[in-house]
Every structure is written in structure tokens, then in C-alpha cells.
Amino acid sequence: MSRTTQYIGLNSYATKWVERAIKEETYDMTTGMFDETIEGKIYYLYCKSPNMKSIFKEVVQTEPWSNGPMIFTCLQWTLVKESGQEIDMGILFKWMGDPSLKYDHIEVDYNTGRFYV
């Protein structure tokens, strides 16, 4: 098996959440094992007043190795108030490490957001 960067990305819960985005942008999130650029996305969602919008930025959660780095991402949430104040709301929709997957002989379960590498 050849060595390569494996971009896994967001789990199914995060993917469903950002379907409501009114705008998306891409940015250079990280680099792969051969210094190739791995792009992430920034998602913009509207909120109800007094909050102007929510920004969800795809960020690297972890990069375990399996014939190359496997890049798992999650969402970093920033709330923007009408005043322009930005509030860091933390990380959402993280992948969960689950050793029980080894018995099913799988590394990634997108539906449940679990991985075992």
C-alpha cells in the first residue's frame, strides 16, 4: 500500500450542521505528508438578534497515522455580536476515538463520528 495523506474531514453530524450555511469560503488549513496544501472551509450562518452571525471554521482535530496522516477535522465556533464583538464559543462535532471499532475491522465510521487508527 502506498503512503499518502488521507483527508477524512468532518463527521456526518458536522456536515449536516453546515448545510444551513449562507456562505462558504476555503482557506489553507494544513499541509499533507508531501507538503501539499489541504484546504478547510469557513461556514457563515445567520443568527437571531442580538447576535449577527455564527462562523464555523473547519480545523484539524487530530492526525493519526495509517499509511500516511489521516486528517480528522471538527468545527470551531465564533459568535459575532451586532457590536462587532467576536466571542469564541469553542469546538463542536469532534470525532471520538473508539477502540471497539477494531473488532469490526474499520478505521472510520462517518455515521457515528468514531475512529480507531
Q: What is the pLDDT of residues 50-70, one digit of tens each?
A: 678 899 999 999 999 888 899
pTM score, two decimals?
Answer: 0.89
**Residue 90 φ then ψ, to 5°:** 100, -170
Gap between the Cα atoms of 111 and 117, Å rounded: 16
- Amino acid 89 reads M
Comparing 15 with 52, the larger pLDDT belongs to: 15
Gap between the Cα atoms of 93 and 31, Å rounded: 22
> For the chain, how many residues are written?
117
Gap between the Cα atoms of 69 and 63, Å rounded: 6
DSSP-derived secondary structure letter, 103: G
Residue 1, pLDDT above cutoff 80 = no
Q: How would residue 49 be classed by pLDDT, with cut points 50, 70 and 90?
A: low
CA angle 89, 91, 95 (to 5 degrees): 160
